[in-house]
């Protein structure tokens, strides 16, 4: 593992993609103290100020079929949640597909981007943002975001948390490659509070309401509509209906 540290970048995923195209090895980690153009899913802005967060991307290369790329997001969320639970005793949970929550507030997000050639996946960039020591957030995320410091009422040393997080992520990726995704998904489901709850799924085609029944081993959210029809979703924003 090689960690490349930067004071400020537009996005660690952008830097990681350029490094991957230039031949950077598996498990090259791009770590920045600040992102000026950090982004989440659907090109949403990811607030990444200096000195308070863990903003990094991991380059993966070895034996990742294109069909399995989305599963890495689920595995990554499991690794982040496990680390926060084991190292900080926080009740971290997972919101489909790969947000990590404490209570109802988001503490970590994951963005996957791929580099393909000729229909083959050459590299997968796993971008991870964790709110560590923020004490406040700007609108419009002030009511939906949290940080480790806010939850623990103390400063969390980023330099201590990062190696433990990378160790757990590497362990989860190794488990995935050894064919243990089914077992990982059982652990993932135990950390997903929305299963069995009424939800609203916000898609490009409109909103769909129903009950979140399960997340399949391929990573799809399974929603049962009021008429009993089961639908599978691979993308979208979901919220628990109150």
More confident: 159 or 47:
159
Model confidence at 38, pLDDT cuts 50, 70, 90, reads: confident
Work out the mean pLDDT of the chain and round it to a whole number.
91
Across the range 42-60, mean pLDDT stands at 89
Structural domains in the chain plus CATH codes: 2-190 (3.30.930.10), 198-240 (2.30.30.100)
Please check the confidence at residue 67 and state whether its pLDDT lies above 90. no
Model confidence at 216, pLDDT cuts 50, 70, 90, reads: confident
Q: What is the pLDDT of residue 64?
A: 73
Please check the confidence at residue 242 and state whether its pLDDT lies above 50. no
Looking from the CA of 145 toward its CB, the CA atoms found within 13 Å total: 23
């Amino acid at each position: 593992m090689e960690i490349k540290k930067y004071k400020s970048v537009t996005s660690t995923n952008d830097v990681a993609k350029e490094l991957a195209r230039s031949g950077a090895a598996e498990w090259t980690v791009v770590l920045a103290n600040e992102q000026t153009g950090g982004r989440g899913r659907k090109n949403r802005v990811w607030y990444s100020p200096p000195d308070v967060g863990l903003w990094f991307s991991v380059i993966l290369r070895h034996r990742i079929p294109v069909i399995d790329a989305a599963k890495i997001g689920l595995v990554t969320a499991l690794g982040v949640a496990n680390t926060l639970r084991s190292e900080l005793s926080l009740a971290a949970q997972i919101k489909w597909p790969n947000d990590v929550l404490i209570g109802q507030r988001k503490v970590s997000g994951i963005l996957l981007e791929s580099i393909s050639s000729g229909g083959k996946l050459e590299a997968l960039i796993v971008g991870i943002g964790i709110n560590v020591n923020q004490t406040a957030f700007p609108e419009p995320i002030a009511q939906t975001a949290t940080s480790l410091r806010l939850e623990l009422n103390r400063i969390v040393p980023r330099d201590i948390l990062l190696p433990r997080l990378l160790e757990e992520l590497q362990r989860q990726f190794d488990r995935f490659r050894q064919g243990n995704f089914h077992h990982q998904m059982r652990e993932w489901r135990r950390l997903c509070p929305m299963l069995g709850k009424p939800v609203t799924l916000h898609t490009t085609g409109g909103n769909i309401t129903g009950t979140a029944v399960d997340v399949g081993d391929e990573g799809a959210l399974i929603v049962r509509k009021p008429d009993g029809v089961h639908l599978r979703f691979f993308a979208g924003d979901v919220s628990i209906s109150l």
